[in-house]
Amino acid sequence: MRICFATNSQHKLEEVMAVLGGTFQLLTLADVGCKEELPETQETIAGNAYQKASYVWSHYKIPCFADDTGLEVGVLNGAPGVFSARYAGPQRNSRDNLNLLLKRMEALRNREAQFRTVISLILPQGEWVFEGIVKGVILTELRGTGGFGYDPVFQPHGSLKTLAEMTMEEKNEISHRARAVKKLEAFLNAL
């Protein structure tokens, strides 16, 4: 099956390809001729995932899926949440986002958080939604050089490593995105 992953993030593409393997012919936005920035103007993670997938479906008529991910910190009322990529401003700078998060949490003892990924799949028959969550804590300092975004400060429960200290294989065993992608893969394999 040919299916487009509606993302411009090379990091996300690598993670998803590592999970899906050779089961599907995964197309990128460039492969389908999409050069424009996909819209992300919704107020929820699920809304953004659907908006991106439906944009590709309506313009290119190819089965596709898109994801949106947010880091949700309990004591910050779920922030940064849907604004995770632009937490520190529209420049979408990961270092700025990390610094702002750590500053806002520096005096807080409760550091519980979760990463949540929602995937919206659009096929000719309709839309399906898959979710993946990993719970953990926000550390007080950055650790590790792998991954991207908030990975250097997020330590999943049951692990001594941050997501940024894990290999791709280790991360894909437990990550929010991998969990959602595995649900997507199971659904597509059952078609």
- Domains recognised in the chain with CATH numbers: 2-190 (3.90.950.10)
Examine the pLDDT at 14 and tell me if it is beyond 90.
Answer: no
- Apex 47 CA angle, 41 and 49, nearest 5: 95
Q: What pLDDT, in 10s, does the model give residues 20-44?
A: 877 788 999 999 999 998 999 999 9
Q: How far apart are CA 115 and CA 83, in angstroms?
A: 13
Q: How far apart are CA 69 and CA 89, in angstroms?
A: 17
> Which pLDDT belongs to residue 100?
97
> Which pLDDT belongs to residue 10?
85
Are 29 and 4 within 8 A, CB to CB? yes
Cα–Cα distances (Å) from 51 to 17, 29, 36, 39, 47, in that order, read 22, 15, 14, 7, 6
Q: How far apart are CA 96 and CA 145, in angstroms?
A: 16
- pTM of the full structure: 0.94
Q: What is the DSSP letter of 75?
A: G
Q: Locate 167 and state its tokens.
A: 């290999």
Active site (catalytic) residues:
68
* Alpha carbon 86 to chain centroid, angstroms: 14
Containing 70, the helix (H) or strand (E) segment is strand 64-73
> Which pLDDT belongs to residue 12?
87
Residue 188: count other Cβ atoms within 10 Å of its Cβ.
18
> Which pLDDT belongs to residue 141?
95
